[in-house]
A and B are shown apart, each in its own frame.
Chain A
Amino acid sequence: MKKIKRMLKIHRIFMAQEFKRMMEYKGDFIVGVIGFFLVQLSNLMFLWIIFGQIPNLAGWSVNEVVFIYGLSLIPKGIDHFFFDNLWSIGYFTVRKGDFDKYLTRPVNTLFHVLVEKIQIDALGEFIMGVALVCASVPNLHTEWDVFRILAMIFMIPFITLIFTGVKTITASVAFWTKRSGNVIYMFYTFSEFAKYPATIYNRFVQNIITYIIPFALTSYFPALFILKGENPLFNLGMPVLASAVLMGTGVLVWHRGIRAYESAGS
């Protein structure tokens, strides 16, 4: 309990520093937010144009597709906002030996890395996600009940950890190879598959994104339950299980990696 209190306090302190830093570079951060907003907007234009050509996408209505798309952006945006610092571990912190700093401090290194920075750019993703979910909800033929709404809110932290877990595992690779930025990039790109209903992919891809790099669990499967009330045990249970497995593996690989860390220089 005391430990959690201390972690929360450190988190708060780091957040405060980050906001102060942002105030120094206000204009630049707006650039990032708009940038990520535009990325999503361009994808939406794509959806809008193709839905002008077809009545539905493999049986999914435009509103359902938009809901799944929007839902995928919320946890992705949250992970991006809070835990983006993992990218720098993969790209340069380890390679340049700057990881030394974390090891000389009396704080869990993974925790320290995770909470040290926030990435305001992520608001572009997050806001777009919330907006899309909100815009699609009134037009969905879904019977909403309290349980479904609660399920949606309850799932978000777990789903976020699926992103963070994949990033932690792949970032840790840098402890052995010095550089793993593009390894993170490759695995993170699998989340692109999460934006659309998994039924548009073939069996092989579906299996990969459900069981191996399980980004289908981040929006498609929860959406199956939220939209259609299907199979809550699998659709909600699997994402929770996957987040625990991935984050747990991440923590293990990370601490294994630290032992292999070679710093830099002579």
Chain B
Amino acid sequence: MITVDKLRKEFKKTVKEPGLKGSVKSLFKPKSKKVIAVRDISFEVPKGEILGFIGPNGAGKSTVIKMLTGILTPTSGSCTINGKNPTQNRKNYVKEIGVVFGQRTQLWWDLPLRETYGVLKEIYEVPDDSYKKRMAFLNEVLELDDFISSPVRTLSLGQRMRADIAASLLHSPKVLFLDEPTIGLDVVVKDNIRKAIEHINHHEKTTVILTTHDLADIEQLSKRIVMIDKGSKVFDGTISDLKSKYGQIREMYFETGSKNAVEVLGYAKHFNLGDDDLSVETEGNAVKVRFNSSAVPVSDMLSYTLGKINISDISVKDADIEEIIRKLYEQGVE
């Protein structure tokens, strides 16, 4: 169980005036201003949950993750895992967690992958017999066998990510932090990684905290989302909560033989909709209409469209999570 309590991080940022004069000035009299990266965030994660931690760029996601993993020291507030606190006893705390940063690696670059696990075994004091069992398990889930003897620098990005996840799990941590675990990977590899994460979570009741830009990761893996923006928590709940709260957006697809169908229909004028509530795209005969169902009920939309032009095929569906979150990022959350 992870408890995050009023976690706050302030940075001092030196302000530099532009130009050579500015740099000379800042050399002798550096000016700095306080930037609040994370504002008193609190949440809890029960054991065995997969939590999706999301927010737009610069929202403070990484800063929170880095405080939770003991890398950054909080300005105030605390985070504890089973009562252990990184600021009081970092070494004890980090034994409980595994960390993967998608853009970095903790593998020994020049040596065969196997060597990395040998070193980590000693660092984390994993006994010989549990190490053997552990490697067998990780091997099975992440399929390391194909490349365990190759030098790390020769691995593909997907292999490297699997290897890194295995490295973070070697000491059977209770909590696994994954920061952008699928970044830069192709669709098939992404899917494999997600399955592996799911398997480990299911099999070992490992709590997973996941940050990602690929919302498909979240949709597939996590039931719960914590969203932050400008350093504050703006949403905490399940994906279905999010959908019912913000998800009045619907998408209607249809195909039509009529030319100028969109002009003929004139949705914006007819329903009096603004840009926020309506967008229309056409591609050949296909038309996609995205609209806010609280402004125009779905039934009205359908009957109006069907009555106005000839339609060969029509369907309406909920906007996916990506759509909702994109909208939230763009508009901000009230």
Q: Which of A97-105, A120-128, A223-231 contacts its partner? A: A97-105
CB closest chain-A residue, reference B109: A21
Question: Are B122 and A104 in contact, CB atoms less than 8 angstroms apart?
Answer: no
Please give, as numbers and ranges, the residues of chain A lying within 8 Å of B108 by CB-CB distance.
Answer: 17, 21
Question: Are A263 and B72 in contact, CB atoms less than 8 angstroms apart?
Answer: yes
Interface residue ranges of B103-136 to A (CB < 8 Å): 103-104, 106, 108, 110-111, 115, 118-119, 122-125
Give CA–CA (A25, B151) in the complex, Å: 13
Interface size on A, residues (CB 8 A): 28
Most buried by B among A25, A103, A107, A265: A103
Q: Does B70 contact A (CB under 8 A)?
A: yes
Q: Does B207 contact A (CB under 8 A)?
A: no
What's the interface size class on B, roughly? 20 to 34
Given the interface pairs A104-B99, A107-B123, A263-B66, the reply to whether A21 lies near B72 with Cβ below 8 Å is no
Interface residue ranges of B62-119 to A (CB < 8 Å): 62-63, 66, 69-73, 90-92, 94-95, 97, 99, 101, 103-104, 106, 108, 110-111, 115, 118-119
Q: Does B312 contact A (CB under 8 A)?
A: no
Question: Are A17 and B119 in contact, CB atoms less than 8 angstroms apart?
Answer: yes
Question: Are B122 and A10 in contact, CB atoms less than 8 angstroms apart?
Answer: yes
Q: Does A266 contact B (CB under 8 A)?
A: yes
Question: Are B95 and A266 in contact, CB atoms less than 8 angstroms apart?
Answer: no
Given the interface pairs A9-B122, A13-B122, A263-B66, the reply to whether A104 lies near B94 with Cβ below 8 Å is yes
Please give, as numbers and ranges, the residues of chain A lying within 8 Å of B274 by CB-CB distance.
Answer: none
- A97 CB, min distance to chain B CBs, angstroms: 8
Question: Are B104 and A106 in contact, CB atoms less than 8 angstroms apart?
Answer: no
Give CA–CA (A107, B91) in the complex, Å: 6
Q: Does A29 contact B (CB under 8 A)?
A: no
Given the interface pairs A17-B108, A20-B115, A107-B91, the reply to whether A265 lies near B122 with Cβ below 8 Å is no
Give CA–CA (A101, B108) in the complex, Å: 12
Contact flags A89-112 to B (C-beta < 8 A → 1, else 0): 000000001101101111110000
User: Can you name 9 A-B pairs with beta carbons within 8 Å?
Assistant: A17-B119, A20-B115, A100-B69, A104-B97, A105-B94, A105-B124, A106-B92, A263-B71, A266-B62
Complex A-B, nearest 10 residue pairs according to Cβ-Cβ distance, in ascending order? A106-B91, A103-B71, A259-B73, A104-B99, A106-B95, A13-B122, A100-B71, A21-B110, A106-B94, A266-B58
Binding site for A on B (CB under 8 A): 11, 57-58, 61-63, 66, 69-73, 90-92, 94-95, 97, 99, 101, 103-104, 106, 108, 110-111, 115, 118-119, 122-125, 151
